[in-house]
Amino acid sequence: MKKQIPNFLTCLNLFCGCIAAVMIFRNRLDVAAYLVLLAAFFRFAGWNDCQKSRVKPDFGKQIDSLADMVTFGFIPGAILFKLLQMSDMSGIANEDLRRGMQFLPFVVTIFSAIRLAKFNLDTRQSVSFIGLPPPACTMVIISLPLILIQRPGQFDHIILNHAFILILTGLLSYLLIAELPLFSLKFKKFDFKSNAYQYILILCAAILIAIFNLAAIPIIIILYVLLSLIKNVTEKPIDMKFTAEINVMPLKALLDPQGKAVSHGLKNMGLSEIENVRIGKHITLEIEAPTEDAANVKVEEACKKLLSNPIMEHFTYKLSKS
């Protein structure tokens, strides 16, 4: 039951996203934005439980991406769509062109889907992100209707400008799939040395929100990108050596002829107390990697691509510094 907690939290993320969609088309963009914030809480609350297992649960990964596609894919596109409908597009004389342009914000939804698919397949993104994560993109977009409500009249001429909305759509779509390394905000250790940039971002974010309220969210995302660029330039990874001890075993649902033969032989020797023998492989290998996370990625890639057959076998491993 405990193993299903991350999946339950993911379902709560999806549930909030579904209600947010209804709120958008009832013109309650503010309620939709708060529901997305709640969904983001559920999303990150379940992450730590997922990371306790070295073998990533494929079901959990898939349902997580499907839930994200609603909450952090469709919802941001729908909010931009509504904002564009609210904007003054009278300057565009062609009525058919105006009608067609109002659907352009859903380009963000398309690029979010591409980004999520890339994340599931890209083994480089265990330690950091490549491209702007869809939740970060969504935070920028949901801040817009909240800014309109909390600061009436101050930013309406910008946020409800069709050119601004379309430029923002293009910029965010590009950042979603850009080959831009960005550090992860997920903590595995809490010491300052390992997470200096994360703590700097959190401190700056707290100060900016205290001063500008939700209008600070776009500034925080810009700061996040800038800090990531600084981190990429200033930090040069130093490879460490790790030893991985890997156990590859046949799936429990499948027959194990070797195990059955050994079990039968043991009974013939008078060891009838021994049963359910399963025979697998034990593999030891050494890896050079800049971090333990990077070493984990390499071990899992080796296991999935060569050392085990996912149709017939499963693997577990233990990683230690050499």
Question: Residue 293 and residue 286: Cα distance in Å, rounded?
Answer: 15
pLDDT, position 238: 65
Q: Is 270 left (phi over 0), alpha (psi -120 to 50) or beta?
A: left
Give tens-digit pLDDT for 247-275.
999 998 888 888 888 888 888 888 888 88
Handedness of CA 148, 149, 150, 151 (dihedral sign): positive
Nearest alpha carbon to residue 69 among 144, 126, 17, 5: 17
Model pTM above 0.75: no
pLDDT, position 6: 84
User: In the numeric block, which tokens belong to residue 83?
Assistant: 């904002």
Nearest alpha carbon to residue 137 among 182, 178, 173: 173
Question: Residue 319 and residue 299: Cα distance in Å, rounded?
Answer: 9
Give the architecture (CATH level 2) of 240-321.
2-Layer Sandwich (3.30)
Give tens-digit pLDDT for 187-215.
767 788 778 899 999 999 999 999 988 88
Q: How confident is the model at residue 47 (pLDDT cuts 50, 70, 90)?
A: low
Q: Give the domain ranges of the chain.
A: 2-182, 240-321
Q: How far is CA 279 from CA 213, 257, 261, 276, in A?
A: 60, 9, 10, 10
Is pLDDT at 236 greater than 70 in this prediction? Answer: no
Mean pLDDT of all residues in 170-192: 86
Is pLDDT at 106 greater than 90 in this prediction? Answer: yes
Q: How confident is the model at residue 227 (pLDDT cuts 50, 70, 90)?
A: very high
As assigned by CATH, the class of the 2-182 domain is: mainly alpha
